Chain A
Amino acid sequence: MLTVDRERIEGAEGPMGVTPSLDFDSVRLVEVSRHFGRRRAVSRVSIEARRGDLLGLLGPNGAGKSTLIGVLATLVQPTSGEVRYGGHFARELGPPLRRQIGLLAHELHLYTELSARQNLTFFSKMYGLDPRSTVEPALERAGLADRADDDVAGFSRGMRQRLALERALLHTPRLVLFDEPFTGLDDNAVGLVSARLRRLAADGAIVVLATHDLDLAEGLVTRVAVVQS
């Protein structure tokens, strides 16, 4: 069920105490297809994920997992089919829906010329949040408090990934999308990201994880959708 109100959502309050203005319990892809010119990226996919789910989109490279993540993130328009957030369609919602979506993709969505603090401050403001209450806790969670004013260009892949994760979760989204989040990470970093994924799902987020790595997905996801090329 989708509700549009200004009240705090019980159990959904994140570490920054952000109050979402829109909420939904589930997300559904119904017969979604997407073609890029004559190339068919995904064809008639139907999936549903609910609060607390950690849904794994598993499949080989090129199977269309990233396209599905793009569709769920409202960045890619389906050629046919529909996407429902609660009981409503994506096109009806716009900015309030985007406020409830967090995306961590293989490309990390960070400005490497800016420092960790500047990146988080910029995106915090873009989400209409108060950086004074969001940036420092995010830096602490990323383990980058002592490198907060260093440019991201000087960070290792693992440090960038941790920062990107916190950037994606700054606004405490309801729907959290991960596209190959373990790329280039060492075992320790994989463990930290996995733990964060589980915690998000336990806190009531809808978590969708696209990966080709079945070993990493095993024991982590609670539901599986296999995407075949």
Chain B
Amino acid sequence: MSFATTAFLVLKKDFTIEVKSGEILYTTLFFAVSCVLIFAIAFVREGQPVEGAGAGILWIAVLFAGNLALGRTFERERYGETVRALLLTPAPRAAIYVGKLLGIVALLVAAECLLVPMVAFLFDAPLFARPLLLAAILGLGTVGFASVGTLFAAMLVRSRTRDVMLPILLYPITVPVIIAGVLGTSALLQSPADEPVALLWIWLLVSFDVVFVTLALWTFEPLMTE
């Protein structure tokens, strides 16, 4: 069976379960929206938000929601040990990783579609001034974060301390992605938008994504063998 077919099957399976249960989507969205609202209460005084806060708050909401989604997605594979059943199939194991990664990315993109207008409205942030550049920064940052997160969440699926270990492992390693995402978004929020700086961060995100995804594809199979 081909790599793409396997990845698509895993993605479709996760999508079917999510359509039935709505469990991860709703909890992730609720958590992300709550996060932004709490920051809005704290950082908006008399209708005036703290200058430049929008980029950081957007990324905090995305990353925290991503951490929650990663944990819940693999909790589903732990229950009934279905992760073992997936690994036992003759399908390429790296394709199973890609299928799970695409599911997480799709979930976070859905959250971002809700969070970007919210942050733009509550923090008076011109996020839609350069929509393509913003989409590139968010998309690439999400892939970078999710690629490492999916690998670690899969590795920790049988660990009793997975809920504690996942953020401890994930955030330090994805610091380059977080910095590039926040500073790239900040560059777009300046008036006028600093496009050259934003493009520089986009290229750095492309580099991080290539490295992270390649390493994850390379290491997934040996790491998943007990």
A interacts with B: yes
Q: Which A residues are within 8 Å of any B CB, using their own CB?
A: 70, 73-77, 95-96, 98-99, 101, 103, 105, 107-114, 118, 122-123, 125-128, 151, 167
Q: Which B residues are within 8 Å of any A CB, using their own CB?
A: 1, 5-6, 9, 13, 16-17, 20-21, 76, 79-82, 84-92, 225-226
CB distance from B91 to the nearest CB of A (A): 5
A73, A110, A111, A151: the one within 8 Å of B88 (CB): A73
A109 in contact with B17 given A122-B9, A126-B6 (CB within 8 Å)? no
For chain B, what secondary structure do more than half of its interface residues adopt (helix, strand, loop), or is it mixed? Answer: helix
A75, A105, A125: the one within 8 Å of B226 (CB): A75
CB distance from A73 to the nearest CB of B (A): 6
CB distance from A134 to the nearest CB of B (A): 14
CB distance from A222 to the nearest CB of B (A): 25
CB distance from A228 to the nearest CB of B (A): 22
Query: Do A111 and B225 touch across chains, with their CB atoms under 8 A apart?
Result: no
Query: Do B1 and A126 touch across chains, with their CB atoms under 8 A apart?
Result: yes
Name which of A113, A128, A167 has the most chain B CB atoms within 10 A of its CB. A113
Which residues of chain A are within 8 angstroms of B82 by Cβ–Cβ distance? 109-111
Give Cα A109 to B218, complex, Å.
26
Kindly report which residue of chain A lies nearest to residue B13, judged by CB atoms: A122
A75 in contact with B17 given A103-B88, A110-B80, A123-B89 (CB within 8 Å)? no
Query: Do A128 and B226 touch across chains, with their CB atoms under 8 A apart?
Result: no
5 A-B contact pairs sorted by A residue (CB < 8 Å): A103-B88, A109-B85, A112-B80, A113-B76, A114-B16
